[in-house]
């Protein structure tokens, strides 16, 4: 029984259920975000690129006395719309490289999902 496993057995079981709960929560949260975005209207607004940033995560792994290093980079762009609100979107690396702070144009998005930015010239 659970009481015969001792203190460390109980702690192991608690940590196991906490980790499983976190995975389940993340899965449901991702599905909810995907569903919300799919049911949001596609909006196109005039916007200006005001900021760009990256987040790089580094990974190190040892297997059979061989070190392996890898990294993942995430790209983010912040747009300012005509109401002075700012919206940050995750974008692909190619899109990130094509955008420059100060660019003006039409931003198309759906919920929290970035779709496209079409550069234009507005006064």
- Positions in the chain whose pLDDT score sits under 50: 1-2
Q: What is the pLDDT of residues 4-26, one digit of tens each?
A: 567 888 898 899 999 999 999 99
62: Cβ contacts below 8 Å, ≥ 6 apart? 68
Q: What is the pTM of this model?
A: 0.75
In angstroms, the CA 108 to CA 41 distance is 10
pLDDT at position 5 is 67
């Amino acid at each position: 029984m659970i009481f015969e496993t001792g203190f460390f057995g109980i702690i192991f079981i608690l940590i196991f259920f906490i980790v499983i709960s976190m995975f389940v929560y993340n899965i449901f949260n991702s599905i909810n975000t995907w569903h919300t975005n799919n049911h949001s209207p596609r909006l196109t607004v005039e916007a200006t690129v005001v900021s760009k940033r990256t987040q790089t995560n580094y990974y190190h792994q040892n297997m059979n006395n061989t070190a392996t290093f890898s990294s993942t980079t995430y790209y983010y762009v912040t747009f300012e719309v005509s109401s002075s609100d700012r919206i940050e979107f995750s974008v692909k690396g190619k899109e990130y490289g094509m955008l420059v702070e100060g660019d003006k144009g039409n931003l198309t998005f759906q919920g929290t999902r970035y779709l496209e930015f079409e550069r234009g010239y507005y006064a």
